[in-house]
Chain A
Amino acid sequence: MSAHHHKEDFLFKYVFSTDHKMISKQFLVTGFLMGFLGLVMSTLFRLQLGWPGESFEVIDMFMGSWAEDGVMSPDKYLALVTMHGTIMVFFLLTAGLSGTFSNLLIPLQIGARDMASGFLNMLSYWFFFLSSVIMLISLFVEGGAASAGWTIYPPLSALPQAIPGSGAGMTLWLVAMAIFIVSSLLGSLNYIVTIFNLRTVGMTMTRMPLTIWAFLFTAIIGVLSFPVLLSCALLLIFDRSFGTSFYLSDIYIGGQVLEHSGGSPILFEHLFWFLGHPEVYIVLLPALGITSEIISTMTRKPIFGYRAMIGSMMAIGFLSFIVWGHHMFLTGMNPFLGSVFTFTTLLIAIPSAVKVFNYLTTLWKGNIRFTPATLFSIGLVSTFITGGVTGLVLGDSALDINVHDTYFVVGHFHIVMGLSAIFGMFAGVYHWFPKLFGRMMNNKLGNVHFWLTIICAYGVFFPMHFLGFAGVPRRYYTNSEFPMFDNMIDINEFISMFAILAFFAQLIFFFNFVYSAFRGPRAPQNPWKGNTLEWTAPVEHFHGNWYGEIPHVYRWPYDYSKVDANGDYVSGEDYIPQTVPLGDNEKDGGH
């Protein structure tokens, strides 16, 4: 083999790979890198919030001219918050989470050699990569990064006169997001078609693991909502760069009346939240799917209410399209419309409650093995409850009047969406690490990581509700301008200390991750004694997943601890892989 050939091999194996497993790893690593930056940003602005106006050497080190004497300026604070939100929601928890696990698990768990189109899949990753690069470049342009919040409401986001970040920074933000949307659409297309068309023999829809169901609904939601965000962004691009007036009207700024007239910023909000709310579930559903799978495997019990779990995900997915108005109760919308949105929003609590109770029942009388993945799954159930119940407050238009855009909201969405999704992601990484890298992660470090993370997570986000009770608005650079918030300094300090600790806790994870990927103990083929198909594939990676024929499937994936009439395990062990044919008199599914 010539050196030249070798080089080409490398390029196509690691860079322009069309193998879903490699693409999955690419998504994971890129997502984590972006997430790490988002984390650094949050730690930096937490320093400002905890000790407003104090000078910090780290801030000086990281932010340079953005922070004179180690104190960040108000507009750069907003730039950081905006980038933090954008990166966390889209880059870490949409592309990073969904991209990693949909890619890894869909072909492996349904028994396919690869995605429907490896080429589109590769494009999906490279668009994501390009988008990440552009988003990062936007930090370094004149005027700084986009600063209008991750929701980029115009006119603020449309007018550089209103805030410096709405200049070149916002342009790049929009370009990056447009590319991101294309990436996400290409991914979703592939996921849906693969699931519908490439299942192995015997893998009926109702024998699919809940992970696959979750990825399917996520992809469907993505295909239906991301294009609308694209149209939303497109109109904003026109307003910003070509002087159209889709969103702008009657504006006087910087001593001048602008020529825009006839547009409406409310239109933007409608289009934005038509994606924005489903986006929450794009982030959350994969995490729920992952934990369903892990909890069942680790309790050595079938997931309780398989069909109800699917039904509730379907209901959540459907409802997520008709609740967007709950972000707009106070935009002057018709009160009747507000009532409708309150109604639909509170309805989502029902399928969510069903999911929680089903998780609890799955744990009941189980035989739980506490790996780090289990711990994070339990953590997810906890955060899903804690964050979910406060959703009832925010979804109620009457109550929203006084907590809208306060720290109560920040606490709520970080817990229910941020923490739940990131816990699901951690759980997934610990659990499928052997599939990803052929090695095992270290349990002890994993446990330490879990305990520190959950303590810090609640330490950071629980107290925020109390800030909300006191009426502290979000996206404030400091609360020191209001005497009524003087008492809050304690809470803010408390939160910031936990945020700093949380940052260091994640370093443990990154260390464990990198170390284990290269030097961890070699993984056996089926370390957790799981039923699903990915554990029948060899540990080593090659394009095609299985040597020889793709295994056939004969049963649903949750035959854990199945016993016969005498109370003995049917298979002699507490699990029966999906590839084992049904015995005589044995019924499939949860009967």
Chain B
Amino acid sequence: MSMENINYKEEVRRKTSKPLLWIGIVSIIMFFSGLTSAVVVSQGGGSFLKIDLPFAFTISTLIIIASSAAFHFGLISVKKGNLAIAKISVLVTLVLGLSFILTQFLGWVALYENEVYAVGSQSTQESSYLYLLTALHIAHLLGGLISLIVVLVKTIKERYSVDNMLGMQVSITYWHFLGGLWIYLFFFLRYIIA
């Protein structure tokens, strides 16, 4: 492979990584709009029972905001060339990301204790929607976690620098998006279902 070819590939990567992510995000937004408008349409009959939203979901909202902040801090550190702090920040982000999943799970446990079921004959539409939306958010979060792990490894190996941090930028955009998505879902669930 010639030198020119490698440069071209690099250029393509530089030009297209972020747009690819953005369009991907658009399709995820459409996916969740489809689901949340389904909730609104279903609710149209007015027969929606209200469900108490467990406190764990509020905590997880705070956690995911914190994780976004930590990640952002990591990015700034890389920009400033302070890799040691960057390593810690990304690690913290990862830990917070995992705790987010944990608190979501605790939320489900709380729901279950309150006899709010996901599926089966005792489930209602609103309870199913509740579990489904949160679970699908986590499914998308898994992708974010994988990219986070990759970023962590690369930070530890000190692969990033001021002029080479595309991978990190892509990962952080997606992570912020997931945070925003959760906040949207949280308020949506709070005011529509709960």
Interface residues of A (CB under 8 A from B): 113-114, 116-117, 120, 185, 188-190, 192-194, 196-198, 223-228, 230-232, 234-235, 238, 242-246, 259, 262-264, 267, 270-271, 274, 544
Contacts and interface: CB of A to CB of B under 8 A. Distances in A.
Central interface residue in B24, B27, B28, by most chain A CB within 10 Å: B27
A235 B132 CA distance: 9
Given A113-B8, A242-B119, A544-B5, A227 B27 contact: yes
A113 B23 CA distance: 21
Given A231-B35, A243-B121, A244-B123, A116 B16 contact: yes
A267 B123 CA distance: 19
Nearest to B42: A267
B12 A198 contact: yes
A29 B19 CA distance: 30
A270 B41 contact: yes
Contact of B31 (A193, A228, A262): A228
B38 A246 contact: yes
A243 B123 contact: yes
Given A197-B19, A224-B26, A231 B34 contact: yes
Interface in B104-125: 118-121, 123-125
Interface in B1-48: 5, 8, 12, 15-16, 19-20, 23-24, 26-28, 30-35, 38, 41-42, 45, 47
B58 interface: no
**Binding site of A, secondary structure by majority: helix, strand, loop or mixed?**
helix
B82 interface: no
Interface in B84-131: 118-121, 123-125, 128-129
Contact of A231 (B31, B119, B121, B123): B31
- What 10 pairs across the A-B complex have the smallest Cβ distances? A231-B34, A227-B31, A228-B34, A116-B16, A242-B119, A227-B30, A244-B128, A193-B19, A197-B15, A231-B35
B185 to A, nearest CB: 14
Central interface residue in A196, A234, A244, by most chain B CB within 10 Å: A244
Contacts of B123: 243-245
Given A223-B30, A227-B28, A228-B30, A193 B119 contact: no
B33 A228 contact: yes
Given A238-B128, A267-B38, A194 B27 contact: no
A232 B132 contact: no
Nearest to A548: B4
A263 B42 contact: yes
Contacts of A197: 15-16, 19
B38 A235 contact: yes
Contacts of B5: 544
Contacts of A231: 31-32, 34-35, 38
B42 A189 contact: no
B47 A198 contact: no
B20 A244 contact: no
Given A238-B128, A244-B128, A271 B16 contact: no
A241 to B, nearest CB: 9
Interface of B: 5, 8, 12, 15-16, 19-20, 23-24, 26-28, 30-35, 38, 41-42, 45, 47, 118-121, 123-125, 128-129, 132, 136
Given A185-B27, A228-B34, A262 B124 contact: yes
Nearest to A544: B5
A219 to B, nearest CB: 9
B15 to A, nearest CB: 5
**Binding site of B, secondary structure by majority: helix, strand, loop or mixed?**
helix
Nearest to B23: A189
A264 B16 contact: no
A228 B15 CA distance: 28
Contacts of A228: 30-31, 33-34
Nearest to A549: B4
B108 to A, nearest CB: 15
Nearest to B5: A544
Given A193-B19, A235-B38, A259 B27 contact: no
Contacts of B119: 238, 242-244
Contacts of A245: 123-125, 128
B47 to A, nearest CB: 7
A246 B125 contact: yes
A320 to B, nearest CB: 14
Contact of B19 (A196, A225, A226, A270): A196
27 contacts: A113-B12, A114-B12, A185-B24, A190-B20, A192-B23, A193-B19, A197-B19, A198-B12, A223-B30, A224-B26, A226-B27, A227-B28, A227-B31, A228-B31, A231-B32, A231-B34, A232-B38, A235-B35, A235-B132, A238-B132, A244-B123, A245-B125, A246-B128, A262-B125, A267-B41, A271-B38, A274-B34
B76 to A, nearest CB: 27
Nearest to A262: B125
A461 B136 CA distance: 44
A193 B23 contact: yes
Nearest to B35: A231
Contacts of B47: 262
Contacts of A267: 38, 41-42
Given A197-B15, A226-B27, A227-B34, A259 B42 contact: no
A189 B23 CA distance: 6
Given A246-B38, A259-B121, A267-B38, A198 B16 contact: yes
B125 A232 contact: no
Contacts of B42: 246, 262-264, 267
B16 A194 contact: yes
Nearest to A274: B34
A157 B30 CA distance: 24
A262 B132 CA distance: 17
B120 A193 contact: no
B120 A242 contact: yes
A428 to B, nearest CB: 25
